[in-house]
A and B are shown apart, each in its own frame.
Chain A
Amino acid sequence: MIKLTTPISPEEVKKLKVGDQVSISGVIYTARDAAHKRMVEAHSKGEKLPVDLKGQIIYYVGPCPAKPGKVVGAAGPTTSGRMDKYAPTTLDEFGLIGMIGKGQRSPEVVEAIKRNGAVYFVGVGGAGALLATKIKKVECMAYEDLGCEAIYRFEVEDLPVIVGIDSEGNNAYDIALKK
């Protein structure tokens, strides 16, 4: 298990290889369908983003509401493919270095990952209750009207993920099927 603390450097990303099990601590940001659409639309109009994503990691998640005394409800990864339309912009233009989600990415996203020396992590989809215990602090940063689809700042401790696509474009899903 490789332990990483955010923000992660391009050198650290380069060392990550497909299939590596990684434990992430530090600050990450959430965004899914609606927040991506808004950010990319705002950017195309020349507007400033509500959060500086340079060198940051986005976690594709829409958490459940927090119960009293908790910081967040269940919070596992959602299907990344729905963000494929927007992901190259987040990497090329927002300077994002990592994404956490689940499922396959499009060839365009894989190319953008390689071009930017970024990384795609996959979490265990369906383990939302367990993954929520790794989230220690939550703050809404933007688009509060989107509810669970707003952009949140998560402080995480030892969030378990696997390198799904490394900076050279090697893909864990393709490798698994070839075996």
Chain B
Amino acid sequence: MKQFIYGLLLFVFLTLPPVATLLESIMIIHMHLQMPLLIFSGFLMARFFKVRFPAFFYKWNRNGIPGILLFSIILVYWMIPRTMDEALTVYASEIFKFISLPFLAGIPLRDSWRKLGSVSKNIVFLIFIILFILMGWLFIGVDDQICNNYLRVDQITLGWGYVTLAACMIIYIVQLIFGDQSEFE
């Protein structure tokens, strides 16, 4: 229950208009801090929903695939440059961001991750590594201003943010493959 409270507090904190405005004023903070924190708040809140509605998760997300698909769809959706612009200019889009990331990405991620086999997990990692590298390459390399609300410098910073994320994930995967896991099991 404690986790749920922490998650809820984090969620409420992030929705406070001054906090939201501040986090959204810088592109990379918007994308790589606010959005992940929203997902994390859902991740924490998931405990409550899993305890409350165990049958629902058991029936509809039995092997974890539906959940991880939903998580991926929401994540990719918010990686479209247009959605980030519209979150700033269209009110409905901003509300959808605050609902979709915790409840349609954070909760399914938590429920699904434990149910997924190692092959599925690796596929998810691989897809997101490729995606992050592509996004990084796009944001660093493209000459145009992709988002009307942010400058090109912000865009390049975000690009490097993506590349860094991808690099971290690759390091994680490499140590999984070559490291000795027996100590942890």
**Do A and B share a complex?**
no
Residues of B at under 8 Å CB distance from A?
none
